[in-house]
Amino acid sequence: MQGVTGKRCSAAATVALICAAAVVVTSPGAAHASPSSPAGSKAPTRPTAPTPRSDESLEQVRKEIEKLYHEAGAATDAYNAAEEKADKQSEQIVKLSKDIADGRAKLKKLKARAGAAARSQYRGGGMPDEAQLMLSDDPGEFLDGAGRVRQGHKAAKNMLTELSRTQEDLRIYAEDATARWKKLEANRKAKAASKRKIKKKIADAEKLESRLEKKERERLRKLEEAAARRKQTAWVDSGVLKDIGAKATPQGKKAIEFATAQIGKPYVWGAEGPGSYDCSGLTSKAWAAAGEGIPRTSQEQWKRLPRVGIENMRPGDLIIYHADASHVGLYVGDGTIVHAPRPGRDVTTAGAGSMRILGVVRPDK
């Protein structure tokens, strides 16, 4: 093997010498091939600009982004509902804790009274009160004592009843608190799951939009506006506004004033102001400013507030959107709403018919 290796090395050295000689006799001009020479290396190519997307392609992107943000909106409503339930359960648990503490203090006093009664009987030689009275030589004292015995028996019976009731109350409070803790934990898990889903949907939508060039993002916004205009035009052309003529109530005017004053503030999921809002955070705070407490989420607003027909709608009413009631806007009149649209957008006005209307609810009676 060593001999073979030596021969290979010798042959390699010979080839190297021949190549070196060829380089020496070559003219300087031939040392580098021209760009057109097939033997030369390829010249560096300039990066080509990405091919602009067609309107049809951008429309598909718009629909996908709209779908992702709609799913994020539905998850946001689920998050807000779980948060609202968790807050209520926490308040109830705090109240139960106070009830349990009060019950334990009461039970301690009752036990102390029972112990005092037992010690008193022991000091009397363990003789029942009735026997002590029978041995009395004074009839008047006997009669007075008999009355006290009856009172004492009644008091003892009442004390035992109260002791038993207090113990039962404590048992119920403890069971209720345990059940509420379990529900609270379940809602915390639901909140965490919804939060993960929201973040993922928003991240997916933002990633999809970030792939677009600046001009394409501008075109995308125009496509969004055009799609909203088409829906609004179709809604208006249906003649629905002809029957809408009711005026806002004083409370409704206050809600509108609050909501319109928030225009320009960013949408942030789960936000209730004052610097940012999600859709139902805006409507619930607007009506709170008008002195009317309403449910926090759009789904609960749809479930629990009185419903009215679109033809009877008046400024200040809430329009609920999409089949899952995942969006809400506050009607301000003339076919317009103010709402917090989605992440990446600010509180703004829009056509009331620019999205699929589920129905209308009225916060004030």
- The residues annotated with a catalytic role in the active site are 279, 327, 339
Q: Which residues pair with 129 in a beta bridge?
A: none
Backbone angles phi, psi at 321, to 5 degrees: -120, 155
Residue 156's closest CA among 178, 128, 124?
128
SS3 label, residue 359: strand
What distance in Å separates the CA atoms of residue 217 and residue 60, rounded to the nearest whole number? 13
Range list of β-strands (E), the chain: 307-308, 318-321, 327-333, 336-339, 348-351, 357-361
Residue 262's closest CA among 330, 350, 347?
347
- Cβ-proximal residues to 92 (8 Å cutoff; 6+ apart), any chain: 180
In single-letter form, the type of residue at position 315 comes to P
Residues in the chain: 365
In single-letter form, the type of residue at position 66 comes to E
